[in-house]
Chains A and B, each alone.
Chain A
Amino acid sequence: MNALTAILEATASSRLETRVVEIGGVAIALRTGSAKFARMVEERYAGFVTSCNVPDDSNEIGFEIELLDSAQSYDEDGGDPELDDDLEVTCERGLWRMCRGDFSAEWDALSGRGRIRQAMNPYSLDSVLRIVHSLVLARRGEFLVHAASAIRNGRAFLFAGVSGAGKTTISRLAPADATLLTDEISYVRKSATGYDAHGTPFAGELARPGAHCSAPLGALYLLRQGAENRIDEIDPAMATQALLRNILFFARDAKLVQSVFEGACEFVQRVPVRQLTFRKDAAVWELLG
């Protein structure tokens, strides 16, 4: 970096940059003193950054981001942040605290304001966003699910399963007229008539964000790879169990856990949940929709 570049970078860093990331209709403003971090946010959440440098109070949820040196853990005790620290999400008098080896964050659910301390990497921010979205949704019986999702013929479909069951595969096999919402983390919200699935920027092996759109949810398919393409009914209790196994929820909070549980039970009552056995060819999509 030459002197002029350094001066320009320092000047740019002296003012706060704001990027608003909207997922599932929930907008979160991210304020940072680093133009470089702001650019990383734009690239990471391409298609989901809805505005830049808006006033801090114009969004319901907002975070100030304090960047740490990459070698510096938030944990002053030191240690290996990669393996030593489990994620902890706790709440005390309305103030949520989220801690892991690579970040710490606080969020006041009442005011919507919060602060994140993390290094210059996209994964810590990914985690905080997922946690905050899961908290916002949990109160309403809505949730994030470890599932791929796509829209076809005006209806959305979720594809969940244990790792290796085929979320990425079914996404890759999607026909050209399907819109991929995500190959990794799906976003489920209630609507006037049932549920909608929304696109998310959280990518899996496909390494590309989903589309920023939504559609009424037609079905949840539990994936299993096999020798033929087939859809089977499953017992509602098993469907609820499978859904719960795939819901992302991180907080130690009895009331919200209860809400998530009840949300999953209601979902299974209102949305068809089926077992989808498929072999690795695009013909499986002929069964859907």
Chain B
Amino acid sequence: MVMSVVDSTFFTLNEVASAIWRAADGVTPLHEIVARDVCPEFEVPVEEALTDAREFVRELSTHGILRISDQPILPSAAAGVPGTS
């Protein structure tokens, strides 16, 4: 379960969402996270997994839980930050 610092909203994550959350290091692009941590483990096609993953990170980002960036983010501010590509 994760909670938004911005509006105190809670998210109870399923196993796939948890895997993405754990892998979000501010450096690894989302498509790599999906290919490395989601597709082999949960046996989902890449395109389907990526579509769901994009929706998931977008939802979390609207609550300030996670930041979407098109470039790596400095380690000091990188928790919960996947790239966008």
Interface residue ranges of A139-197 to B (CB < 8 Å):
146, 160-163, 184-185
Task: Decide: A83 and B79 in contact? CB cutoff 8 A.
Answer: yes
Report the contact-size class of chain A (Cβ under 8 Å from the partner).
Answer: 20 to 34
CB distance from A143 to the nearest CB of B (A): 13
- Residue from A83, A130, A162, A248 with most neighbouring chain B CB atoms (10 Å): A83
Total A-B residue contacts, Cβ distance less than 8 Å: 50
Q: Which of B3, B12, B77, B79 has a CB less than 8 Å from the CB of A87?
A: B3
Supposing A123-B6, A123-B7, A248-B1 touch, asked if A83 and B67 sit within 8 A by C-beta, the answer is yes
Interface residue ranges of B1-25 to A (CB < 8 Å):
1, 3, 5-14, 17
Task: Decide: B79 and A185 in contact? CB cutoff 8 A.
Answer: no
Supposing A82-B64, A83-B67, A162-B17 touch, asked if A123 and B1 sit within 8 A by C-beta, the answer is no
Task: Decide: A84 and B77 in contact? CB cutoff 8 A.
Answer: yes
Supposing A82-B64, A83-B64, A83-B79 touch, asked if A163 and B13 sit within 8 A by C-beta, the answer is yes
CB distance from B3 to the nearest CB of A (A): 7
Residue of B nearest to A125 (CB): B8
8 A-B pairs with least C-beta separation = A162-B14, A123-B8, A163-B11, A126-B8, A82-B64, A162-B12, A127-B8, A146-B10
State the B residues within 8 Å of A (CB): 1, 3, 5-14, 17, 59, 64, 67, 77, 79-80
List 19 interface pairs A-B (beta carbons < 8 Å), by A numbering: A81-B5, A82-B64, A83-B64, A83-B67, A84-B77, A85-B5, A87-B3, A101-B5, A130-B8, A146-B1, A146-B10, A146-B12, A160-B12, A162-B12, A163-B12, A163-B13, A163-B17, A185-B10, A248-B10
